[in-house]
Structure 1
Amino acid sequence: MKSFSNQLPYIFVGLLLWCMPTGRVAAQTAAGSAEPSAPDTIILSEADVLRIALSENATVRVADLDVRKQAYARRAAQADLLPKVDVNGVYSRTLKKQVMYIDMPGFGSGDGIEVGRTHNTQATLNVTMPLISAQLWKNIAMTGEQLDLALEQARSSRIDLVATVRKAYLSVLLAQDSYAVFKRSYDNAQANYRNISAKYDQGLVAEYDKIRANVQVRNIEPNLLQAQNSVAIALWQLKVLMSMDVDTPIQLSGSLSDFKEEVYRGYFSADTVASSNSSLRQLDIQRRLAVSADKLNRYSFLPTLSLGGQYSYMLSNNEFKFWGDGRKWTPYSAVSLSLNIPIFNGGKRLHNVKQSSLAIRQIDIQRSHLEQSLRMGIKNQNNLLRTYMRKYVASEEAVRSAEKGYQIAEKRYQTGEGTLIELNDADVALLQAQLNYNQSIYDFMAAKAELDKMNGTGVPEDEGK
């Protein structure tokens, strides 16, 4: 039973590392102390990490460019209200002139009379402008709603990124704090081994104690290396989210224990309203777009009225010359009103209206389902927060008790009243308590980040407004 107790920290380590991203990197020897930061190492806080990610992450930048695209699309649609001015020129060479026959007294029928000239040139200025067009007006209004949708999608990308980056940031802190716990346990095991070796050389302890102390050190080394490896992998993943080169040296300030006050504050301030949820907002905007599209299809039954104007200069002659004697450019101008009344096009307009009506019903069903899913998800996250809060309180008390127990076991062993097995069991209990403490803070803060994502909150720039 005691042998199994000595294996508990390694079983717990395996479960912890299984929950985190794993991989292989070249790890340094576990016997050495943690390396100091290089002179060019960048020290980052959580606020710094979020700021860099929100400004450099590819997903956010693409979403921002999409907003700009929609803004230009709105301006392009509004330009249809303005007059369109075109200039065109036409040159034609007559290969065979038209023959005209005149049946009138005094005109012989004969072979007819050729009309027209060989070279014909025309330059025209055309101006058109819509006066009444319900479809055009509605289409312009829809571009504003499309811009709103692009803005909400950009906001959604920021919310998702903040939640992901926060959890990645917490994962790095968890890996670092776990490494620190294993390093402390490793240092304690080494110190015990040196102490026992000295006593063995003096004949005060049996060789079994020395062998067991050495085994304790060697058993911790693989887990310490794996914990060091997990820190490197977690940092890589965080750098990718920040669109930062993986070779850039960075170091995160603080530790998970810095969030212990936020655990209490976050628990009592947990929001249960999903009114700001980005998915719901996007569906609301999509419904407005669907309603506008339905009106646009209905407006296709209405007539349109447009104003047009034309001013032309024409030149016709039998020689390929544009200027000189006998070359006279003749002007021509006209103003027109064009009325278009749709009557029948095979039922296409009617079927388009039916399609758009069904699209509205589809969005209503999707929104109802999404709202129910969000209610369940938020309720589940609040239950998780309560559970993790209790785990945190229990683990905090466990750490205090385990630290006191280890100090007692260490003193008992030094005075000869306790055994090495008792000391090892106390170290195992302290290791487990510290790992549980770190894990409880990580679990709570990660669940809170997910809850903020569901509620559509948590973006620093929104919180500052």
Structure 2
Amino acid sequence: MKKTIFILLLSTVSLYAQDHKWTLRACVDYALENNISIKQSEMDLKTSEINKKDAIGNFLPSLNASASHSWSIGLDQITSPSGPITVTSKSRNLSGGISSSLDLYKGQRNLHQLHRSNLQILADQYKLDNMKDDISLFVANSFLQILFNKEQLKVLKSQLEITKQDLKRTQELVDAGSLPKGDVLEIQATLATQEQQIVDSENALLISKIELAQTLLIEDYEHFDIVDLNYDVPLTNILKESPSTIIEKAKETRYEVKIAETNTKIAEDNLKIAKGALQPTLTGSYSFSSNYFTSGLFDTPDFETQISDNKRHNISLRLNIPIFNGFSLRNDVKRNKVNLERAKTQQEQANLDLETKVYQAYNDARGALKAYEAAQKTLSAREEAFSYSKERYNVGLLNAFDYGQSQNRYEAAQSDVIRTKYDYIFKLKVLEFYFGIPITELN
């Protein structure tokens, strides 16, 4: 019975895998949830949150308790009326106490460490979000590659059916003596080429599916597939915006710049902490202790009496003034000054890199749009030329070779439209991405 249920369960899972097709949003969400690099970045963020608790703890006093219990057994000499006597003595000592200390002044290092820990959490959050954006872009590109391969395969199969019809009609004309036998051979060669192109296209489609499945850490390559929808070029006004406007928007939303800005602030806090180490520190402490002692050689007060009589309170203030530490403290200050200048330089570079990326994305999107529009015009012309060639071929005014050349040019134009279409969609999405528009929907 259990075996039957298990088999039914596996069958259900298998059927679900075959029927389930992934949308872009589902692919992105799944990747963000299961990507190993993202999980590692999330752990970095958790570590920074723990470090913040350490920084908060620096403001709190320490509290420790101690206790000890000891026994002593040995030979002692005591004086008696008859003279010295050696006896075996046993004694027991019990002591305990509590102590507490608090940093009263540390050159404001505790305050700066807490501020730095908050900034580090912010920086790690920015890094995590930036990684998620990069993965989203990669998944979107892989998703669009599958769509391109699917449409390319549809075009090839459609042209193959047309060629099969042409071969049948040509064979009939050859059998009737209206066309030479070479026309049949020419179309057969075209048919074989198209069949090979379909095999290559099917392989390309399979590989693109496997690559996306691997990105999502999905092992069932055989049943993985995306939704079969006809994605049109999305309507957008992003290209009407100026590059400078997109750059300003990107600086507000992109994490690369935010990470660099936060790292500069962290470097400033590190410098303040290093300078604080050159200042005196003042620590206050308090301790309380008591003990109980008993010996077999003489009478000792009872436990409660001794604990009460032996109470001790200690209160102290400790001032530490750094004078010379082998240049380590001052070198640490100099080192952090260099790190601060480096962080400022990296911040400037991050802004320049972002400007370059936006200009590149803007020009890529404009160029891809022009290429797509040109491909559409070329396809329209090639389609008309092919239709004319077909009419001439059907009435015997065009040979099979020239007809096949016209068909090849028409097929190439169709492929160019598909290629430029998806290239434009992706580059458009990249530009929108810098403008703060998420990459989750294609239309």
Specify if TM > 0.5: yes
| Cα distance per residue 1:37-76 (max 9 Å; x no partner) | 9883322222222222222222223222322222222123
Q: Paired residue for 1:354?
A: 334
Q: Paired residue for 2:97?
A: 124
Q: Paired residue for 1:154?
A: 128
Please say if residues 200 and 207 of structure 1, whose CA atoms lie closer than 8 Å, have aligned partners that are also in contact: yes
User: Structure 2: which amino acid aligns with 1:182?
Assistant: L
User: Is it true that 1:392 corresponds to 2:368 in the alignment?
Assistant: no
- Matches of 1:387 and 1:400, distance apart in 2: 20
Q: Paired residue for 2:384?
A: 404
Q: Percent identity of the aligned residues?
A: 12
Q: Paired residue for 1:341?
A: 320
User: Is it true that 1:252 corresponds to 2:226 in the alignment?
Assistant: yes
1:305 pairs, out of 256, 267, 282, with: 282
User: Structure 1: which amino acid aligns with 2:38?
Assistant: V
Aligned length in residues:
404
Q: Paired residue for 2:205?
A: 231
Please say if residues 120 and 317 of structure 1, whose CA atoms lie closer than 8 Å, have aligned partners that are also in contact: yes
Pairwise CA distance, 1:189: 1.9
| Cα distance per residue 1:110-151 (max 9 Å; x no partner) | x9xxxx984322222223333333212211111101101111
Q: Paired residue for 2:27?
A: 49
More displaced stretch, 218-227 vs 241-250: 241-250
Pairwise CA distance, 1:340: 2.6
Q: Paired residue for 1:72?
A: 50
Unaligned stretches of 5+ in structure 1? 1-36, 100-110
User: Structure 1: which amino acid aligns with 2:369?
Assistant: M
| Cα distance per residue 1:321-363 (max 9 Å; x no partner) | xxx9855552524252433332322332111111111111112
Matches within 5 A, 1:45-444: 45-93=23-71, 118-133=91-106, 134-247=108-221, 249-254=223-228, 258-262=231-235, 265-269=237-241, 271-273=246-248, 274-275=250-251, 276-318=253-295, 326-327=302-303, 329-330=306-307, 331-344=310-323, 345-444=325-424
Pairwise CA distance, 1:293: 0.4
- Matches of 1:95 and 1:449, distance apart in 2: 85
User: Structure 1: which amino acid aligns with 2:156?
Assistant: F
Per the alignment, in what secondary structure is the counterpart of residue 369 of structure 1? helix
Q: 1:452 to 1:260 in 2, by over 3 A?
A: closer
- Matches of 2:123 and 2:90, distance apart in 1: 60
| Cα distance per residue 1:284-308 (max 9 Å; x no partner) | 1111000000000111123333333
User: Structure 1: which amino acid aligns with 2:213?
Assistant: K
User: Structure 2: which amino acid aligns with 1:303?
Assistant: P
Q: Paired residue for 1:106?
A: none
Per the alignment, in what secondary structure is the counterpart of residue 261 of structure 1? coil
Please say if residues 365 and 431 of structure 2, whose CA atoms lie closer than 8 Å, have aligned partners that are also in contact: no
Q: 1:207 to 1:248 in 2, by over 3 A?
A: closer
Per the alignment, in what secondary structure is the counterpart of residue 164 of structure 1? helix
Per the alignment, in what secondary structure is the counterpart of residue 290 of structure 2? strand
Per the alignment, in what secondary structure is the counterpart of residue 218 of structure 2? coil
Per the alignment, in what secondary structure is the counterpart of residue 247 of structure 2? coil
Pairwise CA distance, 1:238: 1.1
| Cα distance per residue 1:397-432 (max 9 Å; x no partner) | 222222233233223322333332343122112211
Please say if residues 279 and 322 of structure 2, whose CA atoms lie closer than 8 Å, have aligned partners that are also in contact: no
Q: 1:459 to 1:88 in 2, by over 3 A?
A: farther
| Cα distance per residue 1:231-266 (max 9 Å; x no partner) | 1111111112223224362332356x624234x544
- Matches of 1:363 and 1:352, distance apart in 2: 16
What TM-score do you get using the length of structure 2 for normalisation?
0.82
Please say if residues 305 and 337 of structure 1, whose CA atoms lie closer than 8 Å, have aligned partners that are also in contact: no
What TM-score do you get using the length of structure 1 for normalisation?
0.78
- Matches of 2:47 and 2:293, distance apart in 1: 48
- Matches of 2:154 and 2:396, distance apart in 1: 29
Please say if residues 287 and 360 of structure 1, whose CA atoms lie closer than 8 Å, have aligned partners that are also in contact: yes
- Matches of 1:266 and 1:238, distance apart in 2: 28
More displaced stretch, 294-303 vs 52-61: 52-61
- Matches of 2:330 and 2:408, distance apart in 1: 76
Q: 1:97 to 1:226 in 2, by over 3 A?
A: farther
